[in-house]
Structure formats: structure tokens, C-alpha cells
Structure 1
Amino acid sequence: MVIDVSNQLVITDCFVIASASNERQVNAIVDEVEEKMRRAGYKPARREGGREGRWTLLDYVDIVVHIQHQDEREYYALDRLWRDCPTIPVDLDVPATSTTDGDGAS
């Protein structure tokens, strides 16, 4: 979920809220977000949360990414807290990665 908080906060424009059902998946999402952002030339201004896999916050100034364990997402309910803010539609259909067998066929 992406929430436009620009009219409510001066410190950032958007919150990205993602969750997973276990700590390992939370950490994998954190690693992937950091890797993709690093490749795009961005480093977080701040990173909160440890490797426990419960809740990690990545602050990229204009965008703050919250990656939470599902239990934390339900308990802290950031979605409800910011429900008066507009959401930004995101296409979650990620194209499948194709592999080739050497002759160019997938």
C-alpha cells in the first residue's frame, strides 16, 4: 500500500507499507528494497529496526518504507492511522523472470 501523506506531514511525501507472514520474508523484502534502491542510486537517510524481522523503516526522505511482520501491521494499524490520506495506485503485477535453455527459448 502506498499512502500520500504530503498534505499531513512536512517530513515526507509517501509511506509505503508492506508486510509478510514471517521474519525471514520481512528481512528478504527489506534486502530487496535496499538493493533496488541502491541500484537506482538511492541510499536511506535512516534505517530503523533490526534484523529481528518484525518492523523495519527505511527513510528515503520523500518516501518512507515500512516493512512489517503481519502481526505488527495488524497491531499498529498504520493503514487505519492514515486512512484519511489518499492512496496511490500501484501495479503489483510483476512480470515473471524468464530463463533460457541456451537456444534462446524460454
Structure 2
Amino acid sequence: MTKQTLLQMAYNAAEDKKAEDIVVLNMEGISLLADYFIICSGNSDRQVQAIARELIDQSEKAGNPVKSVEGFDAARWILVDLGDVVAHVFHKDERSYYNLERLWREAPTMEI
């Protein structure tokens, strides 16, 4: 699976579960963690978990094993490491507090 295919799959998975304010940051040359970050939010703990679960399910269905998942039970900020793509799924109340878009402001945003 190419990086772009993985990115599109992850974006679609988040969108399918009605994630809000989906932002894609191109992290190539900026971070060693991943080539792309997807940042999105949900309105409730249940929705945040549903978005993360869909990311996991779609990645595994595509034959891309998930590297790790952090924060699933708390459902305030779930990090789903898909390898070249890392998804940050926030509860809407937490997203503005952590403001990853500002933290990684040197990373260009991408349109999907």
C-alpha cells in the first residue's frame, strides 16, 4: 500500500464516521514520526471511539497492520499509528486545548 493510498483510506474512514474539521498535515521532512498526520474530532466519547475503530478496521482490512493505538478507553485523544500516517482523533473539547495544528504550524496542510 502506498503512502498516498493509506492516507486516502484513513481520510475516508474518518469522514465515513462523520469526523469534524479533518486536517491533513504533510510531515515529510518535518517529523520522523510519520509522513502525514490526520487530525480530526468527534462530538462525544462514543463518536471519537467509532472514528478510531473505523481507522483501525479499514487499515487492517487493507492489509496494513496498525502499529499502535493510544488513548482508546479514555476517548479524549486517540492516537492511531498506521505507519506512514498517524491519526489524531480528538474529543472536540480537547482539540482546541492541544491545538496540534499550531504546534506543527510549519507543516503544510493538504487537501484530500
Scaled by the length of structure 2, the TM-score of the pair is 0.75
Which stretch of structure 1 is more off in the superposition, 45-54 or 23-32? 45-54
Q: Distance in 1 between matches of 2:96 and 2:25?
A: 17
Alignment partner, residue 72 of structure 1: 94
User: Which residues of 2 match residues 14-53 of structure 1 at below 5 A?
Assistant: 14-53=36-75
Q: Distance in 1 between matches of 2:63 and 2:55?
A: 12
Q: Give the letter for the 1:86 counterpart.
A: P
Structure 2: any 5+ residue segments left out of the alignment?
1-22
Q: Distance in 1 between matches of 2:27 and 2:84?
A: 10
The number of residues matched between the two structures is 90
Kept in 1, the 8 Å contact 2:49–2:72? The answer is no
Kept in 1, the 8 Å contact 2:38–2:88? The answer is yes
Name whichever structure is richer in helix by fraction.
2
Q: Are 1:83 and 2:105 counterparts?
A: yes
Give the ranges of 4+ consecutive aligned residues of structure 1 lying more than 4 Å apart after TM superposition.
Answer: none
Structure label with greater radius of gyration: 1
Q: Distance in 2 between matches of 1:53 and 1:25?
A: 9
Aligned CA RMSD, in angstroms, stands at 1.1
3-state SS of the aligned residue for 1:79?
helix
Kept in 1, the 8 Å contact 2:24–2:111? The answer is yes
State the percentage of identical aligned residues. 39
Measured against aligned partners, the alpha-carbon deviations of 1:7-56 in whole angstroms (never above 9, x if no partner) come to: 21123101011101111110111111111111111121111113221111
Q: Distance in 1 between matches of 2:82 and 2:88?
A: 11
Structure 1: any 5+ residue segments left out of the alignment?
91-106
